[in-house]
A and B are shown apart, each in its own frame.
Chain A
Amino acid sequence: MSTPTTDPTATPRTARSVLARVGSLGPLLGLIAVALLATALNPDFASFANVSNVLTRAAFIGIIAVGATFVIISGGIDLSVGSLAALTAGTVILIMNALAPSLGSGVPTVMVGMLVALVVGALAGLAHGTLITRGRIEPFIVTLGTLGIFRAVLTYLSQGGSITLDLKLSDTYSPVYYGSVLGIPVPILVFVAVALLGGLVLNRTRYGRYVQAIGSNEQVARYAAIDVTRVKILTYVVQGVCVALATILYVPRLGSASPSTGLLWELEAIAAVIIGGTALRGGAGRVWGTVVGAVLLVTIENMLNLTNIISVYLNAAVQGVVIILVAFFQRGRR
């Protein structure tokens, strides 16, 4: 086959690449459009309190979705994040409650709880990664399995009810969700930090490059002397740690975990990643897009709650339409 020296469809810098550039900004433009619309419908939308509510809510899914960005770019998928969040939350609360009598209801107990969350998340990721790489099982299957397992264990631990954090511990812990620094709620700060770190790791470290290479073509990566197994396992560990971070922020919000905690978070996280412009088949993606995607999803929900123009029965439909529209404007990039 004789291919022209330069791909003719990629060369002209003019009209096409401007369109492509606009397309790649799709999610951001979508977010701006939704925000403008929401403000027009209810000026309260743009109030500081509401914006900070929206961003705080987006933090959970957003942080998880940053991890999911890595997994998806590497060509994998993790369906278990919502269940893992629930299990982690339950485990952390039980352990903190158990420690409270001996260790007191102060900061040390909460610190131990946070550490436990990170360990649980990382171990779950390690298990996923190991089963997927060394066990050679499809990530879809592995994480579909653990999706059920994690939630069932939590349901067992809670006996179908809810696991509730001691009131005193709850007071110690609550600034992690309800507190703010310079007027900005803590979850938003953590979200921003995770996103910045994620972007840096993806684009400016060897690990990030390897993740992209593996997602683009695993065989090529293997032949190029990359330790594919290690990089992939690490990717699921990153996802687990992100889930743990989100859970650490989540626990003080309601101070409880129940079988409905984190329900369908996996779909929201994956949706945020894909809306953000990461290819579901792997290889290429970006963290900032994921952040925008997560905020966009929450914003739509918020807008619908703040207005009454559309029947509440249609909430999900509005979200669906926006997701498809954003994807539509990005389609040229494939």
Chain B
Amino acid sequence: MRNDVHAAFREVGKRFGAVEVLRDVTFEIARGEVHALIGENGAGKSTLMKMLAGYHEPTTGHVEVDGQPVTLRSSRDAEALGVVLIHQEFNLAEDLTVAQNVFLGHEPGRGLVDDAEMVRRTREALALVDVRLDPRTRVRDLSVPQKQLVEIAKALSRRARLLVMDEPTASLTLSETRTLLDLIRRLRGEGVTVLYVSHKLEEVKAVADRVTVLRDGRLVTTRAAQDLSPHEMANLMVGRELTDMFPGKAEPGSEVALSVRDLDVPGFAGGVNFDVRRGEVLGFAGLVGAGRTEAFEGLLGLRRRSVGRVERDGRPVRIRSAGDAARHGVVYLSEDRKGKGLLVDMPLRPNLTLMTLERYARPLLDPRAEQRALERAAKEYGVRTGRLDVPASALSGGNQQKLVLGRILEVDPRVVILDEPTRGVDVGAKRDIYHLVHRLAAGGRAVVVISSEMPELLGLCHRILVMREGRVVGELSGDGLTEQDVIRLATGLTREEGASHVHTHH
């Protein structure tokens, strides 16, 4: 146990108006450790880390850095003390170059900016995070993990000694995540302290030295990571035993609900064929960029595509738009909740009824009937919020997702396609969504789940199709599936013969 304290929260509390989001939180972050901060959405993680980074000031108590109580009025104050927050949605100017971003607000040179110096020092900073990149590249042209590394390089170039990382792996693939975790370990070796905020408990287990758990704005515990399993972490976060994350799988029916042949989405996916039966949960696995999302957007006519044959309940149908699909009982939940799913600025009611307005038009819309539908749906899908007259942006990720799910399920579809249904959703809401998927299948609907989370696919699906580079490369079914089976197919590594439940498509 190190006893050199780098930063500490002392009886910290925070109120926003009448709402208390943090109360009496005390814990220490040791110098040179990776300290994970976990908790459900709304537990106060975000507020806490923003206090350390100078975005919020505590209402009660205080924050200490290097043993001194500090008042951080802005992120600049925090930066001066070597504390930098790396935002989940990066804080980079897309149209500037990497070098310009790294030195934004700290440009070298008097009067005129010394470009050569900037590029040279950026190259040094990029070397620290082990990335080979031309500092003159525009940020827009970088991949997501590259942007992340640029953010870290930017922080280090400003002599950050304490990095606060907010969900750093939220949009990274498995191997990218591994690279990032390695980097974090290396930085720790060089004496950098990391406060690591994440939902992904396996990662926390893998990288953190100690874990602090928050629940409902209060501190639950701070413990050594080696003493906790991911399962125990989840239990601490929700405050109860999470035994049944995944309900059992009911036996699927035999009738094919949706059959797709020769689906081509130019540039993304080709020759995609699949059937999904009533009562079946069909998984689509693959790496980010394997073309799963694009294939289904193409199926729904949301992208340019060609398709050989689509049958619903054995009858050929033409689907050229999301409207056609809905009329044929096929609905799709986008992976991009904020961009394509939720009207964040609008209240909950119009968000819920967007696809079923004809039901409330007589002929003028009846807001009271809509309100009743919202109240019913909030119960049915477990949307937990104090008030129902807030904009959708006020909901937590999990509740937002349930609301959007509610919208597509209000259509009473026969085929439900869920793209990353639990992205950015906390453990409790995840469990709710898994149970909802189970109920949908048990009720005779066909469900397609596209997911990058292996446990989710393995826990939910009767059958899993694996896509790689736009093609379906294999099908896995039966009990006893392992993540390794899926990853082998998804990454294209050769597979030892013998696993009888694995069928490779050619």
Contacts and interface: CB of A to CB of B under 8 A. Distances in A.
B395 interface: yes
A11 B393 CA distance: 13
Contacts of A34: none
B215 to A, nearest CB: 12
Given A223-B332, A225-B323, A3 B345 contact: no
B168 to A, nearest CB: 11
A39 to B, nearest CB: 38
B4 to A, nearest CB: 28
A2 B41 contact: yes
Contacts of B397: 1, 3
A12 B341 CA distance: 28
Contacts, number: 143
Interface in B2-32: 16-19, 21
A5 B394 CA distance: 7
17 contacts: A1-B88, A1-B167, A2-B46, A3-B41, A3-B46, A5-B386, A6-B394, A11-B18, A12-B19, A14-B18, A200-B364, A203-B365, A212-B346, A213-B346, A216-B343, A225-B322, A283-B343
B19 A223 contact: no
A3 B361 contact: no
Nearest to A8: B16
Interface residues of B, number: 61
Contacts of A9: 16-17
B394 A7 contact: yes
Contacts of B325: 225
Interface size for chain A: under 10, 10 to 19, 20 to 34, or 35 or more residues? 35 or more
B287 interface: no
A206 B397 CA distance: 27
A22 B374 CA distance: 28
B384 interface: yes
A14 B344 CA distance: 24
A226 interface: yes
B387 interface: yes
B506 interface: no
Interface in A1-40: 1-12, 14, 16
Interface in B338-359: 339-346, 350, 354-355, 357-358
Given A5-B42, A11-B17, A209 B394 contact: no
A223 to B, nearest CB: 5
Contact of B395 (A2, A5, A204, A227): A5
A217 B16 contact: no
A225 B355 contact: yes
Interface string A182-226: 000000000000000000100111100110110011011111111
A6 B385 CA distance: 7
A275 interface: no
Given A1-B166, A200-B364, A8 B355 contact: no
A293 B358 CA distance: 33
A283 B407 contact: no
Contacts of B350: 209, 212-213
Interface string B372-398: 000000000000111100110111110
A226 B391 CA distance: 21
Given A10-B394, A223-B302, A2 B40 contact: yes
B291 interface: no
B399 interface: yes
Interface in A222-267: 222-227
B283 interface: no
Contacts of A219: 339-340
Contacts of A58: none
Contacts of A224: 322, 354-355, 407
Contacts of B426: 2
A294 interface: no
B321 interface: yes
B391 A10 contact: yes
Interface string B149-182: 0000000000000000011000000000000000
Nearest to A229: B321
B47 interface: yes
A220 B19 contact: no
A9 B18 CA distance: 9
A215 to B, nearest CB: 10
Most chain A Cβ neighbours within 10 Å, of B46, B321, B343, B426:
B343
